[in-house]
Structure 1
Amino acid sequence: MTTARTDATLRELATTALQGDRVVHLQRVVSHYRVPRPPRRRRPRPAVLPHGGRRPKPPFGIRVRDRLIDFLLWFLHPFDSLGELILMPFRALFWLCRSKEKRRRDKGLNGGWDSAAGGLAIAVHVWSGCVLAVGERLVGLVYVGEREAELAWTVPREEVAGVELADWDTHDEQQATLRWHFRDGSWCDVQARDAGWKSLVDALPVR
């Protein structure tokens, strides 16, 4: 399948998921490491993605190794907790000494899970298959499977305050950290994959 055919198919699936809203921009995205993991009860289980959007199960040997590591971490947890208690005052002091801009940059999610940004952070927490679709009326996160798509999250386009390039992170033509700002004051970092993210930033400047 050619790239043009793939893009056309993807656009058609996204348009269907957005209930016919004409899609003007598509961007493949993944969750950003600065965004905390959502509570287990809120994590998505998309039907259109393999393994329900979860990471594929590794081979048996890898699973055994991971179990042993988990046991070791569990055994050492009390000592780790004691160390955290000792270091907590120093970390709090370090946090207060950082500039306001530095604290803003390090905060991948602002506004909580019930905010517009929180909804995006929850929806993008899958292994693969996420596409942000910007329509004329709506902005949505779409899970794209082999033959169908599933709308995971959506807001009216006017609720998006803009998209900011996190230029303090490494970026190039194929990937960048994009901070999505919303009218309720919340924001969420996502990792954009593939070319095209620059036009998205230009189309939705932060106001």
Structure 2
Amino acid sequence: MMVNVSRRSVPFGEAESRGAQVLTADERLVASQLMWPGQRMPKPSRRRRPQVLRGLRMPGDRWEGAKSRAWGLLAVVDLPYAIFDRLFDCRPRKKGKPLSGGWNSLAGQFAAALHPRSRTTGVVQLVQVTDRRLRITYLQRGRRSNELGAAESGWSTDLHQVAWLRNRRDVGDDNYEIGFVDGSWARVRLAPPRQTSFIRSFPDPGRSR
């Protein structure tokens, strides 16, 4: 299953507008933020990753699919060298783990939702805070970074399940951790442009670090 989580810049205003269209009628959008998995966040197993934007295509999908298969072949060829490097890699690691609580926790479910599966050219994750819920919405991205397609609502949880947001600039630029009331947390990266309104929409303890 091809997937291309887009890390190229996209027009935030259009992304936010398209994402707002898939909200339920009884929800009010508070803030949005384009988001990627944080530094060193592992990829969950295939069964945990949501399949999104099924049956939807954009110009360039076949070309991107061919590139994806080519990169996959190169990765297989390079696998023995990658394993060797990992075994003998003595470089210091950044302290702290990127996920606490496991994949079944709220943070684990949230983190897995940031690794979607899709056959479309690219997928952009838009995380939304509404007056009721924390949501992930998926947007199609074409070969050109300013080309957005359909939007699809994904994982969500009641806003009362969200405990805090804290800055982890010591780990990497624009890295944050989102904590949940079950004690779990996940590291994420806020894609540019970083939205101050999104950061301020979380409970106060999240801004203390």
Fold shared per TM-score above 0.5: yes
- Unaligned segments of structure 1, at least 5 residues: 96-101
Which of 96, 106, 112 is the aligned partner of 1:116?
A: 106
d(CA) in 2 for partners of 1:5, 1:80: 44
Offset of residue 147 of structure 1: 5.3
Which of 52, 59, 62 is the aligned partner of 1:46?
A: 52
- Matching of residues 49-198 of structure 1 within 5 Å: 56-59=64-67, 63=70, 67=73, 70-71=76-77, 73-74=79-80, 80=84, 84=87, 103-104=95-96, 107-126=97-116, 128-145=123-140, 146=148, 148-171=150-173, 176-198=174-196
Structure 2 gaps, min length 5 = 1-10, 59-63, 117-121, 141-147
Please state whether the residue corresponding to 1:206 is helix, strand or coil.
Answer: helix
Separation of aligned partners in 1, 2:170 and 2:29:
30
Q: Distance in 2 between matches of 1:154 and 1:136?
A: 13
Residue-by-residue CA offset, 1:63-96 (whole Å, 9 max, x unaligned): 2x7535523534x68x849x94xx7xx99xx99x
Describe the superposition over 1:2-57 as per-residue Cα deviations: whole angstroms up to 9, x where unpaired: x69626623532xx334531010000111223111101111221026759xxxx33
Label 1:189 to 1:50 Cα distance change in 2 as closer, same or farther (>3 A).
Answer: farther
Q: Distance in 2 between matches of 1:166 and 1:41?
A: 29
The aligned amino acid for 1:190 is V
Where 2:205 maps in the other structure, the secondary structure is coil
Q: Would the aligned equivalents of 2:27 and 2:131 in 1 still touch at CA under 8 Å?
A: yes
Q: CA RMSD in A?
A: 3.7
CA contact (8 A) 1:18 1:151 kept: no
Equivalenced residue count is 179
| Aligned residue among 161, 183, 201 for 1:203 | 201
CA contact under 8 A between 1:17 and 1:142: conserved in structure 2? no
Structure 2 residue matching 1:162: 3-state secondary structure:
strand
Question: TM-score scaled to structure 2, two decimals?
Answer: 0.68
1:200 aligned counterpart, secondary structure: helix
Query: What's the CA shift for 1:190?
Result: 1.2
Q: Which residue of 2 aligns with 1:30?
A: 36
User: Quick check: which has more Rg, 1 or 2?
Assistant: 1
Larger fraction in helix = 1
